[in-house]
Structures are given as structure tokens and as C-alpha cells.
Amino acid sequence: MADTRPIGVFDSGLGGLTAVRVLRRILPEENLVYFGDTARVPYGGRSRETLLKYARQDLRFLRSRDLKAVLVACGTVSTTSLDTLQAENDLPIVGVVEPTCRRALAVTRRRRVGMIATLASVRSGAYEAALRRLDPQVDVLCRPCPLFVPLVENGRFERGDVVIETVAREYLSPLLEWGADTLILGCTHYPLLEDVLADICGPGVTLVSAGEESAFELKRLLTARGLRAPDGRRGEAEYYVSDQPEDFERIASVFLQEPVHHAARRIDIDKY
Amino acid sequence: MADTRPIGVFDSGLGGLTAVRVLRRILPEENLVYFGDTARVPYGGRSRETLLKYARQDLRFLRSRDLKAVLVACGTVSTTSLDTLQAENDLPIVGVVEPTCRRALAVTRRRRVGMIATLASVRSGAYEAALRRLDPQVDVLCRPCPLFVPLVENGRFERGDVVIETVAREYLSPLLEWGADTLILGCTHYPLLEDVLADICGPGVTLVSAGEESAFELKRLLTARGLRAPDGRRGEAEYYVSDQPEDFERIASVFLQEPVHHAARRIDIDKY
């Protein structure tokens, strides 16, 4: 039953590489194909209609390869377009919302779950709806953090940086005053902010990272369906972007938190 | 000779409205058509090839109207694609680089001109090349300020905000240590930062704003060619965007620095 066909992963940019990092750790034997839509990043502020169009193109490109499953690492696409993508495609597609919400509900003590993400993810109401569907008694408060993605991409995610700490404190204070005991990081860029966010939240708040939970969900799904690659081998990872592959290694190193020596290949996403 | 055909203005997003603000002030009788490519903003980090493709589409959309002239309010397009656009089109097209460089050379006392802009504008070397062509003796230092656009769009441009002041001080300090006596603001978002930047630079540095200078250049050009609309009338302004017209009034009010009651119409830029 061993299946070495690759897993496809896509995101609006390179933030989804934080999910690739987790996949490489928990599924080292799997082949991965990553697409980052760097020509059209960020997806965060776009309309539902535009997002669905982009998501369809991203998936059509990945499916030009023979994939066994797809991880939608983009929070914005997961919260606006996942149902449509699943209905239109005949392979397993894992988003970031459901697995993350289940995890948040497993760890919350007072059923007060906060969520931070891009403006489009918050507006979609998808995290709120999924949490309430899984537990009608849960209290949820969602806040957009529109500056986190540009700050992370410009390297401003370290402890002690007054810029990220000021912005993060402003974004988190309504959630902390409200009494969140669990905080969903609903964007793949946010795992890099974990130290800064944990300092501000203190030990009373458990952080749940969307990219991480969806990687675990994908592992469970592949195992249940007998789609895992054989143990002991070392899977390959291929990277594609829609713009500027020359910056890829530097930025990818930030997100994968290890040196990157693979070049990314550029494709014209408008053709898909 | 009075000509009431509209002037076209485009930018990657809504920042170009700072140029519209100046045009409304110095050419109140002219009709304007503005296009902001809000579905594909920001242009700043994109490749030359992608930028030229986008710029051609933006101009094709504007030219679906009968225009008498075009102002390219996008610094990134002006520095990467202006020559090609001028060669391909039979109407006057004013960018932001030449007029701004002439102004900077007119005001510099020690011929030490600093320039700040998006990464793509700095990489293009266009400001540097234009300054040296106009004055081979000038010293130029250009620095990218990739966080200014997202910070301005999120309202962080006021005096006293530790976030914008910290980032601005870091971006400007190499220019000040180097001894710039003139600073070109090479991006249409930056006029909103004038107070913050002027405080950091002090009275020894003259700020030259790209959007403003290109509006004056356009006025000179229309006058010289007898293309001005009749005095005394009040011109109309129409606004088009490629995504999310619902946010338009709020953001446009920031850039125009007056209340905006015109709705923007949305167009599908991929069709052009």
C-alpha cells in the first residue's frame, strides 16, 4: 500500500513553509511539492471572489503533478474557499481551520478561545463558525492583525524588538482583557511570533498554531487511508513560486528555520 | 484649444491618491480618472517582468476612456516600466522619477541626495541613474523602506507612534549619517509620513515628494501643449479599483486627507 506520490502544499507566499517544516519533521519519508504565490501575495485583504479564483489556479498548478493529498497552508484560502475546492477535486484536501479548532477545544479550560489572523480570515467568520459547530457553548473572540505578515517578512519577530512588541501588545490586549485562555494563531506566518506572543500572553494562555495542527491532521488522514510512503526513506521537497525565485533561499530559511539550498522554480500562475 | 478629456492616474493601490490630491489642488478644472490595482497591491517586491505586465494592463484599462494624458503615480512602475509604456502609447505619460530628480537637484546645497522607496524602486536604480544623468557630480544614496507602505495603510503614520518612529529612525539613520541634505520620498504613500520624517531629519534636510512634483510636471506639460481644460469649471473625479470597493471611502479619505463620498467602481483588470 506504500504510496510515494507527493503531497501538495500551497500558500499565498512563503509563510506556508512553516507547515512544510512540521511535515518534514513528522513525515520525513514523504515527497512534497510546495507552491507559494509570491506574485500575488498577500491574499489577506482580497475579496472572496478573487480568493477563490487564485485558490483554483494554485491547486490546478499543483495537480499538474500526480498528488495523493493537498495541504492548504493559507489561512485565508482555508477560511474562504476550502469547501469549494474539496467539492471540485477528487483527492483529500486538508485545510487549517477544522484541525486547529478541534485542538483549541481540547486544550481550553474555560471555553474562552481567542483567534488572530489576517483581516480576510477574521471577516470570513470561518474559525468562529467551526468552533461553535464543534462546541456550541464556546466563547470566541477573533481579532485581525494586519501588520504581522509584513513585520515577520521583514524580520521583525524577535524578542526585544519594540516594533513587533508594541504592535503585538496592541493586537492582543483586547483578547487578554476578555479572558482568553487559548489563542489560535490562524496564519502560517505567526509561528515565528510564538516567543513574542507567549511573553505577552503569559503562562495562562495556550497557543495553538494552525499550520502545525493541519500537518498532524494530514498525517492521521494518510495513515487511515493507507497512503503513507514507506518508512526509512528520505522524501524530497520541490519548491515553486510565481515571482522572484532569487529571494527564495533567504526568506525560506527564515520560515523553515534551517539553511535552504534548494532553488525555487518560477511558474506563470496566470496560465493555470 | 480647451480640452476637457480626462487625465488618467494609476497606482498599484490607493497611495496614488496623494497625487490626485495635489492635482485637484493645482488643476481643479480637470476631469480625472483614477485606477488603483487593489487586487494586486503591493507592486513593490515584484519582478520587472511582472511589473511591466501589470502596468500595461492598468494603462489599457485607463485608455478604454479617451484620455489626454496619464500620470503614473506608482513609483515602482515609474522606475521599471515607464520607457516601455511611453514607447508603446501615443499620449503624454508623466512618471514620478524625472520631475522629482530635477526638483531635488534644484534644492540640494551640497549635492548629497538621499532617496527612500520600495525595494523594487531602489533595485531598479532608476532614481540614481536619472540624478546622475542630470548632474554627474551628485552623490546619491538610496535605501528601501519595505515596512512604510503597510504601516501607512494601517494608520501608523502619526507623530508620537513608537512603531513608525522606530522603523523610520532605523531606515533614515544611514542616510543622515551619510550627510544627505535632500531626501526624495520615492513612493506615493510617503507624503503621509512627512511630519514623522521631517522630525527625524531635522531642519537641515529638505524633503522632496515624488507625487507632488509629477503633478506640477503634468500641469506644465498640459499648459505647454494647450491641453488645459477651461478655467472656472469644477472637474469631476472617477475612481476605479480591482478589488474590494467597499473599503474605498475609508482608505481614500486617509490619502486624500478629506472626506470621500464617491464610491469606487470595481473592474476586472485581468481582462485588460
Over residues B88-112, the pLDDT tens digits come to: 999 999 998 889 999 999 999 999 9
pLDDT reported for residue A1: 58
The nearest CA of chain A is from the CA of B166 a distance in Å of: 7
pLDDT of res. B248: 82
Q: Where are the CATH 3.40.50.1860 domain residues in chain A?
A: 7-95+212-271, 97-211
Instruction: Report chain A's mean pLDDT, rounded to a whole number.
Output: 92
pLDDT value at residue A79 = 82
For residue B134, the distance in angstroms to the closest alpha carbon of chain A comes to 31
pLDDT exceeds 70 at position A255: yes
Set A101, A142, A145, A187: catalytic member: A187
| Contact across the interface for A244 and B46, Cβ inside 8 Å | yes
Are B50 and A150 within 8 A, CB to CB? no
Across residues A40-51, what is the average pLDDT?
82
Residues of chain B with CATH 3.40.50.1860: 7-95+213-271, 97-210
Residue A245 has pLDDT above 70, yes or no: no
Confidence at A59, pLDDT banded by 50, 70, 90? very high
The pLDDT value given to residue B1:
58
Instruction: Identify the CATH number of the domain defined by range B7-95+213-271.
Output: 3.40.50.1860
> Which pLDDT score, from 0 to 100, does residue A166 have?
98
Q: What is the pLDDT of residue A246?
A: 66
Question: Looking at the partner chain, which of B46, B146, B154 has a beta carbon nearest the beta carbon of A154?
Answer: B146
Confidence of residue A90 (pLDDT cuts 50, 70, 90): very high
Question: Minimal Cα–Cα distance from B180 to chain A, Å?
Answer: 25
Per-residue pLDDT, B179: 97
Instruction: Please give the pLDDT value at position B243.
Output: 85
Q: What percent of chain A has pLDDT over 90?
A: 72
Residue A4 reports pLDDT greater than 90? yes
If DSSP states are collapsed to H, E and C, what string results for chain B? CCCCCCEEEEECCCCCHHHHHHHHHHCCCCCEEEEECCCCCCCCCCCHHHHHHHHHHHHHHHCCCCCCEEEECCHHHHHHCHHHHHHHCCCCEECCHHHHHHHHHHHCCCCEEEEEECHHHHHHCHHHHHHHHHCCCCEEEEEECCCHHHHHHCCCCCCCCHHHHHHHHHHHHHHHHHCCCEEEECCCCHHHHHHHHHHHHCCCCEEEEHHHHHHHHHHHHHHHCCCCCCCCCCCCEEEEECCCHHHHHHHHHHHHCCCCCCCCEECCHHHC
Region A152-175: mean pLDDT is 96
Q: Do A162 and B167 touch (CB under 8 A)?
A: no
What CATH number does the domain located at A97-211 have? 3.40.50.1860
Q: Do B147 and A151 touch (CB under 8 A)?
A: yes
Ranges under pLDDT 70 in chain B: 1, 44-45, 245-246
Tell me the chain A residues in contact with residue B46 when contact means C-beta distances shorter than 8 Å: 39, 243-244
Which residue in the set A39, A163, A243 is minimally distant from B167, CB to CB?
A163
Complex prediction ipTM: 0.80
Q: Which CATH class is domain B97-210?
A: alpha beta
* pLDDT attached to residue B116: 97
Give the range among A72-76, A227-231, B51-55, B61-65 with minimum mean pLDDT.
Answer: A72-76
Q: Is residue A74 annotated as part of the catalytic site, yes or no?
A: yes
* pLDDT at residue B165, as a whole number: 98
The second-level CATH assignment, the architecture, of A7-95+212-271 is 3-Layer(aba) Sandwich (3.40)
For residue B170, give the chain A residue with the closest CA: A163
Residue scoring higher pLDDT (A149 or B136) = B136
Which chain B residues are within 8 Å of A40, Cβ to Cβ? 40
pLDDT at A60: 97
Q: Is B187 a catalytic residue?
A: yes
A chain contacts of residue B147, beta-carbon cutoff 8 Å: 150-151, 154, 156
